[in-house]
Amino acid sequence: MKSFDAIVIGAGQAGPFLAARMVEKGMKVALIERKFLGGTCVNAGCMPTKTLVASARAAHVARNGATYGVTIPGEIAIDMEVVRARAETVTMNARNGLIGWFAGMDGMTVIYGHARFEGPKTVSVNGETLTAPRIFLNVGARPVIPDLPGINDIDYLTSTSIIDLDTLPRHLAVIGGSYIGLEFAQMYRRFGAEVSVIEHGPKLASREDEDVSDAIADVLRSEGIDIHTGASDIAFAKSSDGITVATDSARIDASHVLIATGRKPNTDDLGLDAAGVITDGRGFITVDDKLATNVDGIWALGDCNGHGAFTHTSYNDFEIAAANLLDGDDRKLSSRILAYALYIDPPLGRVGMTEKQARASGHKILISTRPMSRVGRANERGETKGFMKVIADAETKKILGAAILGIEGDEVIHGIIDAMNAGTTYPALQWSVPIHPTVSELIPTLLGDLKPV
């Protein structure tokens, strides 16, 4: 049996950085990864997909160049092999960077293999048994494949496998109208494929307010994406030239199908029962406010604990654990203000409560909205789709949440994120003097238009 001061299972966006911090403190750490260093973000998430989004935007801008007085003779062609290779290069650079970083770290042992608990302090991997007083789980999540008629009879794509696609689909059917599905839908439409989005629920991006969901749908429809919401009885069958996707109200002749119906944690094959670690009904590991499980000496970080399915929330889990365990701090999961983005174009930046949540919370609320068509930067760039919305508490003057769907919305939202984390009241932000011409310069104006509801 090999002994360590700590064992980290999973090399996503929390575990490796925590392992590095512990090594800096003189600890002996084993980092176990069953596949690739970097987790979903580096290998099948943010980095490759946003690289693909950038290629798709380049194609979109080129096609619309004449609007800006830029004429490009001939048809805009897409070389999907180059597109795929570019995304792979970004991934490999990041993954190899992690490999090199860990290789130069005394006290770090990287083990590739499938780890399973043998007890609360022991795990087995590759036929060996390892033990440590502290074990951290950062095992991530994977795509959910729903049990739909005919799904096992077709060759479908997931958010992981579609990244390796080096040919352009004739017609891509996206099953699921949430964040991952919508990003791929717009991306492949801009590459030149016909695209249909099929969503069981009544609207796209169901987490968002109805006005935000409607605006997202308008953006996608304006680019020729076919959207079917409220779809039921979804079924698949092979056809002579592809795949038939049938619903209660539509029949789609697709060449490729992307299943984007959510993700589930990679916790079902870790032997958690042997350690006594509790999970909820969906398989997420139950943790307290400091990310500790019910078993002393075991923590769960990142997607597998169900408290945020984003790279930045996973990294923040590392920050919380490191601060509490290594720096004598007292940081809590409940202090985190959730923020995220949807990377369609224009992007959606989101933080805090939706309007629906704020209304249900019992707060006396103020709301302000402003169309992007009234933003100077948006007009100068010719990108006026979307709108801004902010919600505030009428009594405390604190900002409760915001949505910015529009040009640079994923960046502009950070001014509000910072204000919310600092506890700044909205009247204080109204006195800021932002730079012109930017999208952010409209935040004081947006706050100045807050009205009671």
Of 234, 125, 133, nearest to 177 (Cα)?
234
Q: Tell me whether residue 48 is exposed, middle or buried, using C-beta atoms within 10 angstroms of its C-beta: 0 to 12, 13 to 18, 19 or more.
A: buried
Tokens of 146: 């729903």
- Determine how β-strand 122-125 pairs with β-strand 116-119: antiparallel
Q: For residue 236, give the H/E element and its range.
A: strand 235-239
Q: CA–CA separation, 226 vs 195, rounded Å?
A: 6
Of 204, 218, 228, 205, nearest to 386 (Cα)?
218
Cα distances (angstroms) measured from residue 201 to each of 173, 176, 205? 16, 9, 9
Q: CA–CA separation, 138 vs 267, rounded Å?
A: 10
Q: Tell me whether residue 2 is exposed, middle or buried, using C-beta atoms within 10 angstroms of its C-beta: 0 to 12, 13 to 18, 19 or more.
A: middle
Cα distances (angstroms) measured from residue 322 to each of 171, 269, 287, 290, 430? 47, 27, 16, 10, 36
Counts for the chain of helices (H) and strands (E), in that order: 13, 24
Going across the sheet that includes 6-9, the strands are 108-112, 29-33, 6-9, 134-137, 298-300
Of 321, 317, 308, 394, nearest to 351 (Cα)?
308
DSSP 8-state code for residue 286: P
Catalytic residues: 436
Q: Count CA within 13 A, CB hemisphere, residue 404.
A: 22
